[in-house]
Structure 1
């Protein structure tokens, strides 16, 4: 369920590819969030803020953000991690609802270093909220990356954040936890072991393939080649459609993919169920405080014959900002 990989070779642009793998459609639309929007933690706690940076994000069910980047090149990616345990919510301490967790970082920080320093200073809690339509409570971890090529993976185990911070941590998938994924990778040829490069859709196998192929991408001659190269890696780790399996009723398939160019500030989105590629040029958006938020209706527009394709920067409809899922007040 999901893969994220960074291409951060010295001297080139920093690109991040991501697959969203899930067992049902996430009703994803794209949103433009300008600076100056007031938000709170969604759990009735201590945190409220005004967005310092504007961002372009992919939502889930129009109630949380799961992928995206801000105007200065910090990007975030929510992926599934079954081992996640967030602990009991202590209302006297800083906390964020899972729905707004990623957005907090995009709103407030320019670099991974800044984000990590804040996590270490606050030991912020994450509070999971159930999907109101299904009752499903997600178990997820978060990756952040920036235009410097830096990376961090944040996992909550026993109620505390485990922070894996290094530009060497370029790949992230799902179970097991990140420390064990690193050890499993050492068993594979090219990373210290003798195991052949694996080919299944198991998370540890996708981790190995992403690490292997991103390290062997040729130097691109253009931004177009760089984006195509990153798509080639994440497509190699994608999960194909499948008929229902009684033994695995919630088996995932790749429902959409993104490539974030953190250097040139371009956000590229491809649906696998409505397969058109669209992209947003962040430099052409109005992120000024007081500017309207915008929504790109991918569900409605791409279902039409021909659908959306290409540069959709000017296609966002003015709307109220995304309203994040929160605990009842």
Structure 2
């Protein structure tokens, strides 16, 4: 028989654990599937790959990303959340209760779990180029989040590089000028993809140099910190060295939404669409929190905030609707009006 829970959380970043804390304290006995290398990350998500986190409230001296996630996990467990280190590979949101399959179950097998409500908190992963030397200097000079890491001492008053040509790259480059001695923006093409306003702001900034038709091909350092990039002119193929102490990727993120694709409404970039001002999706009883639905802020604290919202939305849904829910296996409404 499948194991049934009122609320299931899929994902173990700040949003998932915050939702779990709220739901557990509300005596809803949530189960949280933290996954095992789901989306390429260990349980805890992207923060497990970071070092110092200096902008999460409550830690005046900063905190290591892994330590922060350990504390959130401990808090979830303290209030009674069941945490399962397994990956969910399939969801059926077309019937009620919703059906869930854990990794290792056969496609034609009965679901391993069922749930009345589900919170999708599977996150997103920053795109990386995996340049030679990148693994050595990841979080030791190479980052995918200027807002998260730009103020770190190793970047202050140092030359930095940003890869990307869109609005995000322009915004992050301008942000980094607060700390850097100079910012080089590497753009593969001969023009920026950013909006005219952002492009003009970037090009006229006195601390920014945009290198068009340029790509990075390798990273170099002293074994501890990044010191230099090899860059190549994409037209002439001529290579040269660019002395920088920081490299920031601004080439986009990939939300982990394959689990719900074709069932939950996604935007053009693959992020889950939620009703403005809530975490509700187009399917009643399905909620989304954290980076899987947030392509603008993507911060640990904003993820935690939407995790709180999702928990409160799910609790309200259970209270108001579950006793009136359709019998098991009755087709579920797709809630198409929810987005109108």
Q: TM-score range by the shorter chain?
A: under 0.3
TM value normalised by structure 2: 0.24
The structure with the largest helix share of the pair is 2
In terms of Rg, which structure is larger?
A: 2
